């Protein structure tokens, strides 16, 4: 909630600043008092450094965790996803995508919780657009679930962990 408030203040602050600047020539400098939004200065940089995953090499290791994700791409898709003996969850993402950065820690937690029960992969849609096109990915983040090489379900957007957990449990039970 605090983050939303800061982001809303950021929007109002920039709009307010424009409005004040546009009328500033009518006011003497002593009457011009701009509001201070300390939460924006402190919260937004902290958000970008703590939420955005910075990946190193393949297999990729997220800075915020010890879980190793293996990237999947055009050359490894068939072997890792379609021929998997366990259910597979694939996170379609891109480095510039804000909601992708928000859901990344959730995917990380699920990979830890379901180690050995499901395979979790990440597919950068900028690096493997043909797979994204093949599976009709129109919005990211999108999480696809596969079982026995078949696409079973897709979840679009930064959803709560419970939504993904329920879907995983459904395919582990069947």
Give domain status of residue 38, yes or no: no
Contact criterion met (CB below 8 Å) for 60 and 122: yes
pLDDT of residue 70: 79
Domain carrying residue 93: 70-173
Q: What is the CATH number of the domain that holds 103?
A: 3.40.30.10
The dihedral of CA 154, 159, 161, 166: what is its sign? negative
Give domain status of residue 89, yes or no: yes
From the list 72, 100, 107, 131, the catalytic residue is 100
State both tokens at 18.
């424009």
From the list 89, 90, 97, 110, the catalytic residue is 97
- pTM for the model: 0.62
Give domain status of residue 168, yes or no: yes
> Across residues 147-170, what is the average pLDDT?
96
Share of the chain above pLDDT 90, in %: 58
User: What is the domain count for the chain?
Assistant: 1
Give domain status of residue 39, yes or no: no
pLDDT band, residue 69 (cuts 50/70/90): low
CA angle 58, 110, 169 (to 5 degrees): 130
pLDDT of residue 125: 96
Decide if pLDDT at 1 tops 70: no
> Across residues 155-171, what is the average pLDDT?
96
pLDDT of residue 174: 79
Our answer to whether residue 6 is catalytic in this structure is no
């Amino acid at each position: 909630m605090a983050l939303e408030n800061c982001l809303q203040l950021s929007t109002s602050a920039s709009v307010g600043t424009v409005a004040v600047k546009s009328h500033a020539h009518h006011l003497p400098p002593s009457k011009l008092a701009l509001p201070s939004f300390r939460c924006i200065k402190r919260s937004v940089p902290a958000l970008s450094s703590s939420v955005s995953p910075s990946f190193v090499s393949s297999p990729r290791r997220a800075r915020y965790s010890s879980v190793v994700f293996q990237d999947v791409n055009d050359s490894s898709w068939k072997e890792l996803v379609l021929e998997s003996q366990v259910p597979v969850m694939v996170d379609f993402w891109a480095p510039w995508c804000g909601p992708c950065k928000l859901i990344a820690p959730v995917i990380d937690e699920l990979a830890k919780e379901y180690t050995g029960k499901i395979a979790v992969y990440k597919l950068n849609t900028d690096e493997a657009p043909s797979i994204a096109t093949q599976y009709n990915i129109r919005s990211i983040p999108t999480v696809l679930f596969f079982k026995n090489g078949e696409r079973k379900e897709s979840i679009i957007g930064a959803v709560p962990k419970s939504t993904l957990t329920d879907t995983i449990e459904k395919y582990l039970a069947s």
